[in-house]
Structure 1
Amino acid sequence: MPVALLAAISVTATACQSSSGPGATGSDAKDTPAAASGAADYHPTPYDRIRDGGTYTSAGTFDDQGNPFNVNATLTASRVWSWYNADAITYSPTGDVQYNPDYFSDVKVSVEGGDQKVTLTFNPKAVFNDGTPIDWTAIRATWTANNGSNKAYAANSTDGYDRITSVEKGRDAKQAVITFKGVYPAWSSLFTTFLHPKAATVENFDKAYVKKAHPEWGAGPYTIGSWDTHSGNITFVRNPEWWGRKGKLDKRVYVNLESTAAVNAFKNGQLDSVSAVDAESLKQVKGLKGTEIRRGGSPFEYSLYLNSKSPVLADEAVRKAVEESVDRTQIAKIQFQGLDYREPLPGSAVLYSFQKGYQDNVSAVLAYAPAEARKELDAAGWKTGSDGIRARNGRKLEIGYTLLGDDPLGKATAGALAAMLKQAGIRLVIDKADEADFAGILSGRKFDLFVSGNRSMDPFGARYLCDFYCSDRDSNITGAGTPALDKEIRATGRIADRDRQITAVDKVERDALRQYAFLPLYSGPSTYAVKKGLANVGATIFYNPLPETVGWEK
């Protein structure tokens, strides 16, 4: 499953101040660790130590697009999907591959004549909830919808799928034989879950899961018990069609709440876990009786997206000046104030500083340099007016910033950006939008500047380089890039050796960042308040605990 988009989470505000130096996110650069935290904290508990029964309730809902393979899917969609669809391949917190024997009874990987072959043998008992056998046709359907050969599919990512030359039936229908052109080390990330063949038609891929659920096309220990389409609340119950290990919980409940309301609901005992995204929410939940704080590293990254197709940002000089004006250190201070947390500024869209092979590609290309930004704009013919705002050919240098919701902390972050850009003679116009508009804003590219995040769903970050930077990808919401750069990016996907591939990715990403349309801002910790005894919930890094293993410790 690919990276999953999420809306910006804004946290505690401070006034805009000067930077404490490149790479620093704390009050003193020397206190900043060399890498972000790679720790996991989720109370790992074996299946046989979890009691039968009970309910686990947290905040969440179906998103507009519930198909996680679709380009408009979000993190919420991916998390909900995993509770009533196949979790066939998962990863340990550090990224080791784990095959679920309830779906795959055997997995073999070989290389023949330089081409990789993966043979997946399905559990004989595996069926979709409508009775359709889970077999090689599910793998073929998932590949067909995502390989990019049919542009009618709005696929999130075609990378990897487009390297597959065939998906064929093996010794019988319960065996899928996947052949790649060359070797593809990240193949497991393509089939962590899969589509029911009926869900993989063009019509259903794009539209069937829009504000709808299809439990009949799902599989797993749980299925949908109820879904209130008015409130957005969902209850999952044990699936009578499930053949594998029984789910420990009687019910898994998602309650549709905004972040502030979710914290209050947790304090009132209505939720069993809640994300503590900022100092204020952490303060409210810390020390509550029967509660523990679980905090670890995070495969999240929040970035500033610049719409290269908007009239004012079509000028690369303006985009570069904007990025040079953004004091990322100060943005990170705003996010982390009160959290007792420091990390180096992120330097890549696809790898995290706690991963092998990571390089700070941003710093190799760009520095916080407001004086240089002013020179860029002078050279591009933008002259400063009496009000301090630049103009060219009678047009003011005004750039929109789309702010979701009315969270005062989000407003403060926008205010800090406005103060930074004003020093360069740029007026930031803050455009407010509802959080429900998130997917539409991105898919319709209805923004100038926008802060959004991504969560990596697997450790193979190099695979997603094209999703961020290729000019012909819907997932590249900045619209930047060139055919020549696309060619360079795609060439990295054909490198079989993972270490060599990452080295090549680092080089190409630096070229991509010189489009000045995408600027990583911060990652931050994953912090959760959790009722004591709740097992396998919290900061998991790359791990996605199987639904049947989530529950209450005996």
Structure 2
Amino acid sequence: MRARLALPVALIAAISVSATACQSSSGDGAAGSGGKGTPSAASGAADYNPTPYEKIKDGGTYTTVGTFDEQGNPFNVNGTLTATRVWAWYNANPITFSPTGEVQYNPDYLSDVKVSVKGGSQKVVLTLNKKAVFNDGTPIDWTAIKATWKANNGSDKDFAASTTDGYDQITDVTRGKDDKQAVITFKGVYPSWPSLFFTFLHPKAATVDNFNKAYVKKAHPEWGAGPYTVGKWDTHSGNITFVRNPKWWGKKGKLDKRVYVNLESTAAVNAFKNGQLDYVSAVDAESLKQLKGLEGTEIRSGGSPFEYSLNFNTKSSVLGDKAVRKAIQESIDRTQIAKIQFQGLDYKEPLPGSAVLYSFQKGYADNVSAVLKYGPEQAKKDLDAAGWKPGGDGVREKGGKRLEVGYTLLGDDALGKATAGALAAMLKPVGVRLVIKKGDDADFSNIINERKFDLFLSGNRSMDPFGVRYLCETYCSDRESNITGAGSPALDKKIRATTEIADLGQQTVAVNRVEKEALQEYAKLPLFSGPSTYSVKKGLANVGATIFYNPLPETVGWEK
């Protein structure tokens, strides 16, 4: 699963409001919309009207904004958060997590799960529900587990897999006592194994060609499974309707229909106000103001597993100099950036200290503050020492080259513009000229994949609670997902060594230690996280700010 889904800030904002709070004079505290005192952690609260299955009425329609993306396979490197959410409505959901990250097994797919460690190697035995079949009649058995592993383990580079982490530690997937049992053997121990099998690939979808191309603007409901299947998939409008699946063997879906309508965020707010949508994100203070107090609706707000960072392209000519990267980070008042992003939102949290764990999670440490202090005067000294001298117009120079750094800004979002302007204002006094380069949201993948940026602000949404699993994806120098290009083989070795620690608590301690070292590359600066805030029609059950919880489709509906 692509559990850390990268998106440009403008697109993430359309999914979830994030906010930070209370400015400190040093710039090292929390930021946001005022008020006294700063909490020690971001919100870990969930707010989604949890309702037992038997108290949800049969029937009704649930309509929200959403559409399929170009690539609908969530395992693919180009899969996105949107693709993952749509996928879950017509494909298997065997493993989910509670809001705070406890593992939950779905008995409609898994009748038994056993985990053991012998001789230092972990074995996971999954016994699959005897009734479980894909919609085309193919049994969901050990071959589906093996197909999912084979496509994602990196042994065949032609599979454009999002991440091989974890899958590459599996040495084999074999048939157990019968076809309905899969025996998964690991090299060493992998505590976060549930994140690997959140869903199953149909064996037919696990060929190179199908894995990479079959789900491009196509659904393939025949390879899916679950209480719902595709009713209408309109590639022209981008609208999708899911209906009850007559081939489903498990707990019946409560809704008659689940509808996604393809709308921009501003249009979505208006559609919700007109009663056309049942649920909408409050993307900023203005939309929250419009949505508050609407008759028959309520605001649901809670914690958010989003992390937004400023990425430095270490392969660009000017940012190849670590001293320049460090000086830029020292010049950025993260408190002010967060305050701009979330002005008018009533929320507080400390500034983020990690790119892999959230402050509401067990084992979190503020690794950023351990290696970086906000200090423009120190930044000037660092640039002086590196040979960058102030020029006549205040912009520093070295060897006839001016210290000009590009900042790639996608879209026409007002908050994005304000953030870019603030960064330029922060860097100017230390002698760095920020050159703002405009692009379209559609350019996101191209900019990331080809590193066409100096500085770029983007975010990740964690789909599971095992942030320590993604240390390599974030920081290893030989991973495409490390968009900064920073790191070294020596650091990569230390990062990969953390995956061999059996105890999750001890592994987290090691990850914090190594992340401090990775952050001293000064190539990634976590900026803000924040809450998820939504306006929802009253009576809508199991929908809202769920943190790591993805409610099973059959449990979503309207209270009796």
Aligned pairs for 1:505-516 (under 5 A) are 505-516=511-522
Q: Deviations over 1:183-216 (max 9, x none)?
A: 2111111101121112222222222223332222
Aligned pairs for 1:481-500 (under 5 A) are 481-500=487-506
SS of 1:440's equivalent? helix
Give the structure 2 partner of residue 431 of structure 1.
437
Distance in 2 of aligned mates of 1:330 and 1:314: 26
Distance in 2 of aligned mates of 1:404 and 1:170: 50
- Alpha-carbon spacing, 1:18–1:100, altered in 2? closer, same or farther (3 Å): closer
Distance in 1 of aligned mates of 2:144 and 2:345: 45
Distance in 1 of aligned mates of 2:501 and 2:211: 30
Contact 1:4 1:78 in 2 (8 A): no
Contact 2:24 2:30 in 1 (8 A): no
* Match among 287, 298, 318 for residue 293 of structure 2: 287
Q: CA deviation at 1:391?
A: 2.5
Aligned pairs for 1:333-482 (under 5 A) are 333-482=339-488
Distance in 1 of aligned mates of 2:393 and 2:35: 35
1:245 matches 2:246: no
Contact 1:71 1:474 in 2 (8 A): no
Which is worse superposed, 543-552 or 410-419?
Answer: 410-419
Q: Deviations over 1:432-457 (max 9, x none)?
A: 22222222322222222111111111
Give the structure 1 partner of residue 264 of structure 2.
258
SS of 1:271's equivalent? coil
Contact 2:292 2:298 in 1 (8 A): yes
Distance in 1 of aligned mates of 2:204 and 2:331: 49
Q: Deviations over 1:115-156 (max 9, x none)?
A: 111111111111112221111111111111111222222222
Q: CA deviation at 1:392?
A: 2.5
Contact 2:341 2:415 in 1 (8 A): no
Give the structure 1 partner of residue 4 of structure 2.
3
Q: Deviations over 1:15-57 (max 9, x none)?
A: xx99554122157796110111100000001111111111111
Q: CA deviation at 1:537?
A: 0.5
Identity across aligned pairs (percent)?
78
Give the structure 1 partner of residue 534 of structure 2.
528
Give the structure 2 partner of residue 111 of structure 1.
117
Distance in 2 of aligned mates of 1:273 and 1:301: 23
Aligned pairs for 1:299-338 (under 5 A) are 299-338=305-344
Q: CA deviation at 1:351?
A: 1.0
* Cα RMSD for the two superposed structures: 1.9
In the alignment, residue 293 of structure 1 is paired with which amino acid? I
- Alpha-carbon spacing, 1:483–1:390, altered in 2? closer, same or farther (3 Å): same
SS of 1:118's equivalent? strand
- Give unpaired runs (5+ residues) of structure 1: none
Contact 1:122 1:174 in 2 (8 A): yes
Distance in 2 of aligned mates of 1:517 and 1:218: 40
Q: With structure 2 as the length reference, what TM-score do the two structures score?
A: 0.95
Contact 1:115 1:181 in 2 (8 A): yes
Contact 1:20 1:27 in 2 (8 A): no
Give the structure 2 partner of residue 517 of structure 1.
523
Give the structure 1 partner of residue 205 of structure 2.
199
Which is worse superposed, 503-512 or 371-380?
Answer: 371-380
Q: With structure 1 as the length reference, what TM-score do the two structures score?
A: 0.96
Contact 1:336 1:342 in 2 (8 A): no
- Alpha-carbon spacing, 1:403–1:201, altered in 2? closer, same or farther (3 Å): same
Which is worse superposed, 407-416 or 529-538?
Answer: 407-416
Q: CA deviation at 1:375?
A: 1.9
Contact 1:94 1:541 in 2 (8 A): yes
Contact 1:19 1:327 in 2 (8 A): no
In the alignment, residue 292 of structure 1 is paired with which amino acid? E
Q: CA deviation at 1:489?
A: 0.3
- Give unpaired runs (5+ residues) of structure 2: none
* Match among 167, 171, 177 for residue 183 of structure 2: 177
